[in-house]
Amino acid sequence: MALKKMSSFSDRLNYPPPNPDYHGLVDIGSNGVRFSITDLSPPGTRVMPTLFQDRCSISLYDAQFAGTNKAPIPDEVIDIVVCSLKRFRHVCITYGVPASNIRAVATEATREATNSSKFLEAIKSATGWDVELLPKEEEGRIGSWGIASSVPHISGLVMDLGGGSTQLSWLHTRKGETLMAANPVSLPYGAAALTKRLTTAIDDAAIEALKTELTERLQGAFQSLDLPPEISKASKQPSGINLYLSGGGFRGFGYVLLSQHPIQPYPIPIINGFTSAGDSFRALASGMHNASSADVRSAVADTFRISERRARQIPAVAFLITTLIHALPTIQSVIFCQGGVREGLLYSTLPQEIRTQDPLLIATQQYGTVSSTALAELMHNALPRSTPPAIRAIVHPLANIMGYHANVPKESRASCGLHSTSTGFLSAVHGLTHEVRALLALALCQRWGGEVHDSNVRTRLGMLVGGELEFWARYLGAISGLVGAVYPASIVLKGEDRIEFWVEEKMGKENGGERKDGRVILEIRGRGKDPVLHAVLQDGIKEIEKVGKKKRCTMGFRKKIVANYKEIANTG
């Protein structure tokens, strides 16, 4: 079949007009050049939705240190980078990014290049862009903002590992305000730089000397940080502090941790928000440090999201981690963050009232209705006093999206809900922890009955959050299923407050007894003599009671659920 040719250029669409909420960003780093277009329009500004992202896999650090001595950035590498920037400039035009909203920044590899001026002039000549060279202190500050954007609440030390350097700082959220170190410390121990020094070390004594040097520099950097009282106090406790990690080298190590997690396959293929116990983090790094570099590279070669180049750097990252474990206070938990220069540059420009918003609530808001708040209040009334705060935090987001999969075939709805936060429509939301993703997925799955073709993912998500949270997520999901059946369009019309909840809780007996696990007594009150409503409620009551059945509570936590229907007078 012959292809139909366009009759004229007038048949083609024009480029879209500039959108002032679209922002293009070029991050010229040591290990690659990253491109992104972000939509900062309200109300979704907080989660900084990505419209486009790409990466030019060229290492400016390796290009300068291919030999024994440092060399200028080769002309052929400059040409590759310039061509990729010109392509991105055209992409920005096709998306409608205003020229004034395109920003190009560069970090250490460009800043320290012997021919940095030539490199920047080539970019200016080809694109018209003036590249901002971030000073190392500013690079650390921007990295901290990127980490702050990655999780909603933060308190602890933060480290951002680039190719040529690593930054050490602290972050703390207090009363909705993000506090950070005034002078973050930049150290010349990036993943590529450490790899170079380790591979060129002449003997074990040289490696030991490097470890001593690194330990002293890390200890000095930590001592120079003016810690807030909360972090200072935690650093002196036996339990230790939280450590938030960003940068490609650390994220690569995080993917190795994911691959060796006790829950396999790990159910959430997203590094941002992944939390590891300090002991697991320490044990993996120690094991890699004691193995040969060749054995480590071979072991991680087939790991998800570990490139050949990243695999070569893993031994150096393990070396850095084992050193910082000895140099810094005890590490309680390690939280991996996707946020870097891109996220930091954007997030730092947002007003505080935007930065303090709940990312999950903001991300789901677009799917809600005018009645979502009322439906959330209704579901809150079905939760007993002992319901964990983590469950209460997802009530309103669930109310926003509980009708999202209504157009999906019935047999697929629960599965779609289960995968919604890991590979589905909420997978790209920035700023969520894995616990939040798992809880919402379990609740949304149960909202549609909980019957899935493959229950392994549901089981693994439950293992991730633990028995108590898994139980309450399913309970909340069943409540939303009943509410969704009563209000199929997720809209409560004036005068149609058709149901209300009343709940009490009987605590279990610790020393045995018939109700040792406790019970939830839920009363669903329906207004008026509506036989259709009565039938709908009876079906919903059965689903709610199923949540507390022994065969469905296999993770060590259970409360029997007794749900009853009571007809009340219609006040409308």
- Per residue in 66-87, pLDDT (tens digit) is 887 899 999 999 999 999 999 9
- Of 346 and 174, which is predicted with more confidence? 346
Phi/psi of residue 432, each to 5°? Answer: -110, 145
CATH number of the domain enclosing 168: 3.30.420.150
Phi/psi of residue 187, each to 5°? Answer: -120, 145
Which of the 8 DSSP states describes residue 551?
A: G
| b (16+ CB within 10 A) / e for 386-420 | ebeebbebbbbbbbbbbbbbeeeeeeebbbbbbbb
**Residues 308, 443: one domain?**
no
Identify the H or E element spanning 34: strand 33-39
| Residue 526: strand pairing partners | 499, 567
Cβ atoms of residues 246 and 161 within 8 Å:
yes
Give the pLDDT band (50/70/90) at residue 515. very low
Assess if residue 3 is contained within a domain.
no
Cβ atoms of residues 381 and 501 within 8 Å:
yes
Identify the H or E element spanning 293: helix 293-300
- Of 3 and 459, which is predicted with more confidence? 459
Give the pLDDT band (50/70/90) at residue 527. confident
Give the contacts of 257 (CB within 8 A, at least 6 positions apart). Answer: 274, 276, 280, 281, 284
Nearest to 18 by CA among 99, 88, 91, 89: 99
**pLDDT over 50 at 18, yes or no:** yes
Quote the pLDDT of residue 3: 58
**pLDDT over 80 at 305, yes or no:** no
pLDDT mean across residues, the chain: 92
Least confident piece of the model among 38-47, 142-151, 294-303, 442-451: 294-303
Which of the 8 DSSP states describes residue 317?
A: H
Quote the pLDDT of residue 160: 94
**pLDDT over 80 at 105, yes or no:** yes
Cβ atoms of residues 418 and 455 within 8 Å:
no
Give the pLDDT band (50/70/90) at residue 304. confident
Give the pLDDT band (50/70/90) at residue 130. very high
**Residues 177, 318: one domain?**
yes
| Most confident stretch, 7-21, 291-305, 328-342 | 328-342
**pLDDT over 90 at 567, yes or no:** no
Distances in Å between the Cα of 210 and the Cα atoms of 205, 331, 419 are 9, 23, 45
Q: Cis before residue 262, ω within 30 degrees of 0?
A: no
**Residues 78, 156: one domain?**
no
**pLDDT over 60 at 10, yes or no:** no
The domain boundary residue, chosen from 105, 133, 161? 133
**Residues 40, 102: one domain?**
yes
Distances in Å between the Cα of 146 and the Cα atoms of 40, 339, 512, 560 are 15, 4, 50, 44
**What does the radius of gyration of the chain's CA atoms come to, in whole angstroms?**
27
Q: Cis before residue 43, ω within 30 degrees of 0?
A: yes
Give the pLDDT band (50/70/90) at residue 514. very low
Give the contacts of 203 (CB within 8 A, at least 6 positions apart). Answer: none
**Residues 117, 145: one domain?**
no
Give the pLDDT band (50/70/90) at residue 306. confident
The domain boundary residue, chosen from 293, 313, 346? 346
Give the pLDDT band (50/70/90) at residue 225. very high
**Residues 325, 383: one domain?**
no
**pLDDT over 60 at 140, yes or no:** yes
Tell me what the mean pLDDT of segment 213-235 comes to.
95
Tell me what the mean pLDDT of segment 37-64 comes to.
95
CATH number of the domain enclosing 127: 3.30.420.40
Quote the pLDDT of residue 4: 57
**Residues 106, 164: one domain?**
no
**Residues 391, 495: one domain?**
yes
Quote the pLDDT of residue 497: 84
Tell me what the mean pLDDT of segment 123-150 comes to.
94
Assess if residue 518 is contained within a domain.
yes
**Residues 475, 459: one domain?**
yes
**pLDDT over 60 at 494, yes or no:** yes
**Residues 458, 323: one domain?**
no
Tell me what the mean pLDDT of segment 447-467 comes to.
95
Quote the pLDDT of residue 12: 65
**Residues 320, 400: one domain?**
no
Residue 261 domain boundaries? 137-346
Write out the two tokens for 510. 């610790």
Cβ atoms of residues 162 and 107 within 8 Å:
yes
**pLDDT over 60 at 565, yes or no:** yes
What is the rounded distance in angstroms from the CA atom of residue 554 to the CA atom of residue 557?
A: 7
Tell me what the mean pLDDT of segment 113-125 comes to.
97
Quote the pLDDT of residue 487: 95
Distances in Å between the Cα of 97 and the Cα atoms of 46, 56, 102 are 19, 20, 7
Quote the pLDDT of residue 181: 93
Tell me what the mean pLDDT of segment 151-156 comes to.
93
Assess if residue 253 is contained within a domain.
yes
What is the rounded distance in angstroms from the CA atom of residue 521 to the CA atom of residue 562?
A: 5
Q: How many domains does the chain have?
A: 3
Nearest to 22 by CA among 38, 35, 42, 44: 38
Tell me what the mean pLDDT of segment 459-476 comes to.
98
Quote the pLDDT of residue 299: 74
Tell me what the mean pLDDT of segment 21-36 comes to.
96
Give the contacts of 29 (CB within 8 A, at least 6 positions apart). Answer: 60, 106, 107, 109, 162, 163, 341
Residue 226: Cβ-neighbour burial (10 angstroms; 0-12, 13-18, 19+): exposed
**Residues 188, 116: one domain?**
no
**pLDDT over 80 at 364, yes or no:** yes
For 404-442, write each residue's pLDDT tens digit.
999 999 999 999 999 999 999 999 999 999 999 999 999
Give the contacts of 191 (CB within 8 A, at least 6 positions apart). Answer: 31, 161, 162, 163, 247, 248, 249, 313, 316, 317, 320
- Of 440 and 507, which is predicted with more confidence? 440
The domain boundary residue, chosen from 99, 133, 167? 133
